[in-house]
Amino acid sequence: MIPFNNRFHGHSSLNYVYRNGQVIRSRFATLKFSPNTKRSKSRLAVVVGKKVIKSAVARNRIRRRAYEYLRLKMPEFSQNYDLIIIVSSSELMTMPADEFANQMDQLMNQAKLYKTT
């Protein structure tokens, strides 16, 4: 799980990213992100709708997998971002961990969120 400081609080901050954020789409998920210069830490959210997966257990499993991936990759971000990952496929639940990480890496690399070395 990610720390309290790295979570969104309230709907207005999520709405800002939904309206003004850049969008990267893949077959499994959509990444909406916006640079956030006003905060000292990045904020993250993972959204899995009931239309995608009916079971709350399965939705929570995908959320936990995504949060763990993001927790490990946060130090590599080039600056502070507000990130929202919107899951659009139930395949992420049964996908092996290394393939899940590869899919997420593709999204992050397309968005150019990592530091360049």
71, part of any domain: yes
Q: List the structure tokens of 98.
A: 């290394």
Residue 112 pLDDT greater than 80, yes or no: yes
115, part of any domain: no
Q: CA separation (Å) from 33 to 62, 65, 91, 113? A: 19, 19, 23, 9
Q: How confident is the model at residue 117 (pLDDT cuts 50, 70, 90)?
A: low
117, part of any domain: no
116, part of any domain: no
Residue 100 pLDDT greater than 80, yes or no: yes
pTM across the whole model: 0.90
* Residues of the domain holding 72: 4-110
Are 89 and 28 in contact by the 8 Å Cβ rule? The answer is yes
Mean pLDDT of 90-114: 91
What's the pLDDT score for residue 23? 95
* Total domains present in the chain: 1
**CATH code where residue 70 lies:** 3.30.230.10
> Taking the chain, what is the end-to-end CA distance rounded to the nearest angstrom?
28
Mean pLDDT of 100-111: 92
Distance CA 36, CA 83 (A): 10
